[in-house]
Amino acid sequence: MTQTDTTCPYCGVGCGVSAKVVNGQPQPVSGLEQHPANLGRLCVKGSALHETLGHDGRLLQPFIDAQPVSWDHALDTVSRRIQQVIQQHGPQAVAFYGSGQLLTEDYYVANKLMKGFIGSANMDTNSRLCMASAVVGYKRAFGSDTVPGCYQDLEQTDLLLLVGSNAAWAHPVLFQRIRRAKAQNPAMKVVVIDPRRTASCDIADLHLALRPGSDVWLFQGLLAYLSQHDGLDQDFIEQHCQQFETTLQQALAQAANPEQVAQQCDLDVAQLRTCYQWFRDSRRCVSLYSMGVNQSRCGSDKANAIINVHLASGKIGKPGSCPFSITGQPNAMGGREVGGLANQLAAHMDFNADDCDRVQRFWQSPGIARSPGLKAIDLFAAAERGDIKFLWIMSTNPVVSMPDADRIKRALANVDTVVVSDCMADTDTMQYADIGLPAASWGEKNGTVSNSERRISRQRGFLPPPGEARPDWWIISQVGQRLGYRQQFDYHHPADIFREHARLSAFENNGQRDFDLSALTELNQAQYDALTPLQWPVNERYPNGRQRLFDDGHFYTATGKAQFVPLQATAALSVSQPPGRLIMNSGRIRDHWHTMTRTGQAARLNQHISEPFALLHPQDAKQRQLSDGQLVEVSNQRGRLLLRARVSDEQRHGEVFVPMHWSDRYSARARVSSLIDNTHDPLSGQPQLKISLVQARAY
């Protein structure tokens, strides 16, 4: 028997997993007691991991135009076509679209190849759909993409605001930790701020079922309330912050009156005041926020509205106190660390002249992209226009996950060469591949991931990849070498890449940048293999990692002070809601992951909720003569879904919730993203996946 310590590949909690193999057969996995993220716990998805390791449906050999080919032929063709496109159309006609499922080492090499050697920043990822707004929020406030706190803060707090997060289903192990902390400390209060009454409300002392999209109003109102009710930390504001007065004046001008805020948010004013009072009176508070905040046309402002109240009350950088964005994917954070988004460079550097020069010097690249590339929505729009001639999609399924998903099909059909590297053979996106490359999957590949609390953990392989599947870093490096950059992409093991990544983080850093792995730059392969989970930064001052940032009052802005961001709350909806129309919200269910390419294989994960559904309020169901269990057609001008009606007062009147997971592969007419338009946050580029106007009728 072999036993391997690794990390769960699903959500951003990043749980440690012990994987056993007997006679080549994977055995039931268990939670790693010594992993700080989960302390031995696993949720139902994590504990079913061994059931998803079969080879059914795997892509086992490279193909070109549906014909199996050798790796050499496939890699030669990929590099030749990239070269041809660069020669004929320039580097901006090349694009990569990656995934928070990639390991940090995969991400690093893809980003390096694209930005440093192809010379375009057109590399975006599905992380754009997950937490791009949170990144803007952090960078505007702190000058850096820094998650200030750690999971222990959730257990040490007096007040937990769960904002736009159904952690009970989307981040279950973290929710278990919160539940336990509350049981041990009954004085701890939990407020859920979410339009739906979700499973997370089971432990809520207060549920604010606000109007979708009205969060900025709620937090602007809280800032005004704190100033009116002696809730400000004047010392902290004066010593460590800037732009407070302007920000406060704007909040007071707009949201000084809780009655008015309650009206905008469609809340009971007494409940709103209770929340405000608890925030003011709690010495420690964590605001944990997720997709309900980020996936919005004003997601960045929502994030800064939350951060503003933490700065104003000094509830940051202390045990049990911080604004805390929790990511959806297992390695969305690792992607951010290597610059795996079109508007980032690498190691938390940006596209200013100094950073571009620095990264180019470090990579010894012939040139470097000097301005941000196309974010996901713009990238696929460019593809639809015919401006992208070569598109490489890595480990993700945009035909199901991107908004306006039918447009993605048209876009892919309009690209000369679509390369898809994936472990599965028959995803909705693979059907559009001119070239398919078989990638190694979880349990077969090696590397690192970073979870939502900045903790870097090893993912370790314990099974051989089937057929000719190869790790993503190897595939991308081989293309880099074939493009003529043999030395710069001469990697033999992910440890080589991790060392380089750590060295870049330390390169000409001098404490200027938050992301710093300078204590890990000399790891040999054995040390890398034995690496235990660590929270960055990991440097001379914090050789074992740093639990909490900003505890020293230092921020990464030019002045070293945090910035309040003046905000203007806007109407929750950008268009009016005509009579008879519903606001559709999309999101996760407990037992499935993304587009189900993995969890769809585990029979027991289909038992909790076995088919796509539409959750309707009883009044909306009655108006449509719909009863629980009937088929309902949910539609708008973009498309139609056929779903099972679930009728419950968990849902707000006038709204409908539809899960995001099902594609046409699993259930005809269930692809929710085909009804969602391209409305997005202008700063972050993150799509508004939570608000679409639809109609519903009995089928």
Shorter beta-carbon distance to ligand SF4: residue 6 or 313: 6
Shorter beta-carbon distance to ligand SF4: residue 401 or 684: 401
Shorter beta-carbon distance to ligand SF4: residue 14 or 195: 14
Least distance to ligand SF4, CB of residue 445, Å: 17
Least distance to ligand SF4, CB of residue 463, Å: 18
Amino acid at 450: S
Cβ atoms of 110 and 98 within 8 Å: the answer is: yes
Report the alpha-carbon distance of residue 559 to residue 555 in Å, rounded. Answer: 8
Nearest Cα residue to 199 out of 181, 175, 163, 173: 175
Least distance to ligand SF4, CB of residue 531, Å: 18
Shorter beta-carbon distance to ligand SF4: residue 8 or 59: 8
8 touches ligand SF4 (CB under 6 A): yes
The residue range among 40-48, 154-162, 383-391, 488-496 that interacts with ligand SF4, by the rule CB under 6 A, is 40-48
| Direct distance between the N- and C-terminal alpha carbons of the chain, in angstroms, rounded to an integer | 53
Least distance to ligand SF4, CB of residue 214, Å: 29
Does the bond joining 537 to the residue before it have cis omega, within 30 degrees of 0? yes
200 touches ligand SF4 (CB under 6 A): no
Least distance to ligand SF4, CB of residue 225, Å: 34
Does the bond joining 319 to the residue before it have cis omega, within 30 degrees of 0? no
Query: Mask 223-242, x = binds ligand SF4 (CB under 6 A)?
Result: --------------------
38 touches ligand SF4 (CB under 6 A): yes
Shorter beta-carbon distance to ligand SF4: residue 45 or 207: 45
Nearest Cα residue to 135 out of 125, 145, 127: 145
What the block records as the tokens of 463 is 């099974």
The residue range among 7-15, 62-70, 482-490, 621-629 that interacts with ligand SF4, by the rule CB under 6 A, is 7-15
Q: Which of 19, 29, 32, 42 binds ligand SF4 (CB under 6 A)?
A: 42
Q: Which helix or strand (DSSP H or E) is residue 16 part of?
A: strand 16-22
Contacts with ligand SF4 in 46-65 (CB under 6 A)? 46
Least distance to ligand SF4, CB of residue 595, Å: 15
Q: Which of 19, 29, 36, 45 binds ligand SF4 (CB under 6 A)?
A: 45
32 touches ligand SF4 (CB under 6 A): no
* Class of residue 228 by CB neighbours under 10 A (exposed 0-12, middle 13-18, buried 19+): middle
334 touches ligand SF4 (CB under 6 A): no
| Backbone phi, psi, residue 429, to 5° | -80, -35
Strand partners, 124: 97
10 touches ligand SF4 (CB under 6 A): yes
Cβ atoms of 686 and 327 within 8 Å: the answer is: no
Q: How far is CA 422 from each of CA 102, 240, 336, 426, rounded to the nearest angstrom?
A: 10, 46, 21, 10
Q: Which of 5, 6, 14, 223 binds ligand SF4 (CB under 6 A)?
A: 14
Residue nearest to ligand SF4 (CB): 46
| Backbone phi, psi, residue 4, to 5° | -125, 135
Count other Cβ atoms within 10 Å, centred on residue 391: 28
Least distance to ligand SF4, CB of residue 16, Å: 9
Q: Which of 6, 11, 504, 676 binds ligand SF4 (CB under 6 A)?
A: 11
587 touches ligand SF4 (CB under 6 A): no
The residue range among 10-18, 56-64, 252-260, 485-493 that interacts with ligand SF4, by the rule CB under 6 A, is 10-18
Q: How far is CA 123 from each of CA 329, 391, 481, 534, 634, rounded to the nearest angstrom?
A: 18, 10, 19, 28, 34
Q: Which helix or strand (DSSP H or E) is residue 96 part of?
A: strand 94-98
# binding residues, ligand SF4 (CB under 6 A): 14
Least distance to ligand SF4, CB of residue 31, Å: 7
Count other Cβ atoms within 10 Å, centred on residue 663: 26
Strands (DSSP E) contained in 554-699 are 562-563, 582-587, 613-616, 631-636, 639-647, 655-659, 692-698
Query: Mask 626-665, x = binds ligand SF4 (CB under 6 A)?
Result: ----------------------------------------
Output the CA angle 400-449-512, nearest 5 degrees: 115
Q: Which helix or strand (DSSP H or E) is residue 271 part of?
A: helix 269-281
Q: Which of 137, 164, 172, 317 binds ligand SF4 (CB under 6 A)?
A: 172
Shorter beta-carbon distance to ligand SF4: residue 381 or 609: 609
Residue ranges that bind ligand SF4, judged by CB under 6 A: 8, 10-11, 13-15, 38, 42-43, 45-46, 171-173
